[in-house]
């Protein structure tokens, strides 16, 4: 698979797993378990020392995974992530330094926004697909509904507090392209190496595509 745009990546599946990898040995089996269930775009957060190694290991060993870097907090992390094999990036907020670095590296990027002002600033830079973060704490579905008309043309990947139960409410919105969430890879399941459980959660999350397509059609 060649270079994908951020929209291509967000359309691979209804859910982008947000992954915190502590033990490097869990990276590849975790990615394989998620891909087996249908979720292919994987966000590896830069919250642990194992993160960059995990991006590299999954990129090399799991060809069906599209690996991204998450929790990007500094422009300096962009090059390291690209060198490790990251094919997209996600940031919790809007940083022009990070946007500059991502654009210079031609790295597809999902900037985080929590207000219309931030969404407009991102759009001015050419980013019209944005992470709404933290989604539930910022008003969730009702805020995205309120943004749909005044911020028409912008699409969102709500993340933060999205669950198996409420994901469909987000995915039914016309301005939501996918959601992000950690629920498909619970810490306890990773620690316990319960890969079957993670594949089951991934498959359930993939199944959210059905109602979304039906609703959109
Ligand atoms: C995060 O940055 O932690 C993500 O938004 C995931 O949030 P969640 O754990 O509520 O899914």
Rounded Cα distance between 70 and 170, Å, is 21
Rounded Cα distance between 72 and 66, Å, is 17
Instruction: Report the nearest-CA residue for atom 2 of ligand 1.
Output: 160
Q: Enumerate the β-bridge partners of residue 90.
A: 110
Q: Quick one: average pLDDT of 36-63?
A: 97
Is there a contact between 197 and 189 (Cβ–Cβ < 8 Å)?
yes
pLDDT at 215 over 60: no
Residue 147 lies in a domain: yes
Model confidence pLDDT, tens digit, residues 179-201: 999 999 999 999 999 999 999 99
Q: Enumerate the β-bridge partners of residue 18.
A: 43
Residue 56 lies in a domain: yes
Residue 212 lies in a domain: no
Residue 213 lies in a domain: no
Ligand 1 environment, Cβ below 6 A: 18, 133-134, 159-162, 180-183
Residue 28 lies in a domain: yes
Mark 63-81 as b/e (b = at least 16 C-beta within 10 Å): eebbbbbbbbeebebbeeb
Mean of the per-residue pLDDT values for the chain? 95
pLDDT at 212 over 80: no
Residue 217 lies in a domain: no
Q: How confident is the model at residue 57 (pLDDT cuts 50, 70, 90)?
A: very high
Look up 131 and say whether it is catalytic.
yes
CATH number of the domain that 60 lies in? Answer: 3.20.20.70
Residue 3 CB burial class (10 angstroms; 0-12, 13-18, ≥19):
exposed
pLDDT at 217 over 60: no
Overall pTM surpassing 0.75 (yes/no): yes
Counting ligand 1 atoms within 8 A of each CB, the residue from 51, 159, 164 with the most, and so the one to mutate, is: 159
Please report the sign of the dihedral spanned by the C-alpha atoms of residue 136, residue 138, residue 140, residue 144.
Answer: negative
Give the closest residue to 179 by CA, choosing from 187, 189, 168.
168
Q: Tell me, in angstroms, the distance from the centre of ligand 1 to residue 4's CA.
A: 24
Residue 64 lies in a domain: yes
Residue 142 CB burial class (10 angstroms; 0-12, 13-18, ≥19):
exposed
Domain count within the chain: 1
Is there a contact between 79 and 107 (Cβ–Cβ < 8 Å)?
no
Look up 145 and say whether it is catalytic.
no
Instruction: Report the nearest-CA residue for atom 4 of ligand 1.
Output: 160
Q: Tell me, in angstroms, the distance from the centre of ligand 1 to residue 213's CA.
A: 25
Q: Tell me, in angstroms, the distance from the centre of ligand 1 to residue 69's CA.
A: 14
Residue 214 lies in a domain: no
Question: What are residue 149's phi and psi, to 5 degrees?
Answer: -80, -55
Provide the residue range defining the domain that includes 102: 6-201
């Amino acid at each position: 698979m060649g270079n994908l745009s951020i929209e291509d990546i967000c359309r691979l599946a209804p859910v982008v797993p947000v992954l915190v990898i502590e033990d490097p040995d869990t990276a590849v089996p975790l990615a394989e378990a998620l891909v087996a269930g249908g979720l292919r775009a994987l966000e590896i957060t830069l919250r642990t020392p194992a993160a960059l190694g995990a991006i590299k290991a999954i990129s090399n060993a799991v060809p069906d995974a599209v690996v991204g870097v998450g929790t990007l907090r500094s422009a300096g992390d962009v090059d390291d992530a690209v060198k490790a094999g990251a094919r997209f990036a996600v940031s919790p907020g809007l940083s022009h330094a990070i946007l500059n670095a991502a654009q210079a590296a031609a790295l597809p990027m999902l900037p985080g926004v929590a207000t219309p002002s931030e969404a407009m600033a991102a759009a001015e830079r050419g980013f019209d697909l944005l992470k709404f973060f933290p989604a539930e704490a910022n008003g969730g579905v009702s805020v995205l509904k309120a943004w749909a008309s005044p911020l028409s043309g912008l699409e969102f990947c709500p993340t933060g507090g999205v669950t198996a139960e409420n994901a469909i409410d987000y995915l039914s919105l016309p301005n939501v392209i996918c959601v992000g969430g950690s629920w498909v890879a619970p810490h306890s399941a990773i620690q316990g190496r319960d890969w079957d459980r993670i594949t089951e959660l991934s498959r359930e999350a993939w199944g959210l595509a059905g109602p979304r397509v039906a609703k959109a059609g």
